[in-house]
Amino acid sequence: MKLVRILGLASALGLGITAWLVFYWAPLEQAMGFVQKIMYIHVPSVLVCYLAFFISFLASVGYLWKRTEGYDVVALCSAEIGVIFCGITLVTGAIWGKPTWNTYWTWDARLTTTLILFLIFVGYLLLRRFVEFSEQQARFAAIIAIIGFLDIPLIHQAVTWWRTLHQTSTLFSMKPGGAIDDPLKWMLYVAMVAFYLFFAYLLTKRIQLERQERELRRTLAALE
């Protein structure tokens, strides 16, 4: 599939450029030093995680409405990728948190709600993996995906609604002195574009494989 190849090449180029810029161009942040560079993995992973679960949410709503298999395929594939990037978010956050908070983990509101999001969608994938596929299974999975997505607004607002160790967003802050410095910000934008391209590649490729797998299952079932 031509689109998959194009996205694969674009994402590989984008990630390569990002890695080079992170280590050879992006300046060190004065307070945190070298460990701050993990931000260029952590923040894009958060955003890709949100996007993946949002797509899974929309596709799940579409499936419950239309009962079309295509929506179910997209919901499943996007949820799988979302779980991977949510896991990366938790791991990189822990690594970043150790020198910043002197601990890998604390039951901070944002961290806890992110962990809940991860566990909900892990449960979603376990349902898809170990329960025999049926329309009822797909409907139940769609409901779980919709409920899971509703946790994302809580994650986003956690630093505002509760007292947390996690800092508020500095990427788009309008407060005086609240935004990160321009070189760091532009480096982060480059990383975000690269990660979005990588997500697009993973999603299109995974959808392609899932459709082929389902078609193969139907063919084998017809031969039995």
Query: Does residue 20 surpass a pLDDT of 50?
Result: yes
Query: Does residue 173 surpass a pLDDT of 70?
Result: no
- How far CA 202 is from CA of 15, 73, 115, 196, 216, in Å, comes to 13, 14, 23, 10, 21
Phi, psi of 104 (to 5 degrees): -75, -30
Band of residue 165 on the pLDDT scale cut at 50, 70, 90: low
Question: Nearest to residue 38, comparing CAs of 29, 50, 30, 47?
Answer: 29
In this structure, the chain runs to a length of: 224
Between helix 69-101 and helix 182-223 the angle, nearest 10°, is 140
Query: Does residue 179 surpass a pLDDT of 60?
Result: no
pLDDT in tens, 24-50: 888 877 667 777 788 999 999 999 999
Mean pLDDT of the chain: 89
Q: Which numeric CATH code is attached to 2-223?
A: 1.20.120
Query: CA 213 to CA 161: how far, in whole Å?
Result: 44
Buried (b) or exposed (e) across 72-95, using 16+ Cβ within 10 A?
bbbbbbbbbbbbbbbebbbebbbe
Place of tokens 């990037």: 85
pLDDT confidence of residue 103: 85
pLDDT confidence of residue 181: 62
Structure tokens at 160: 């505002």
Distance of CA 29 to the CA centre of its chain: 25
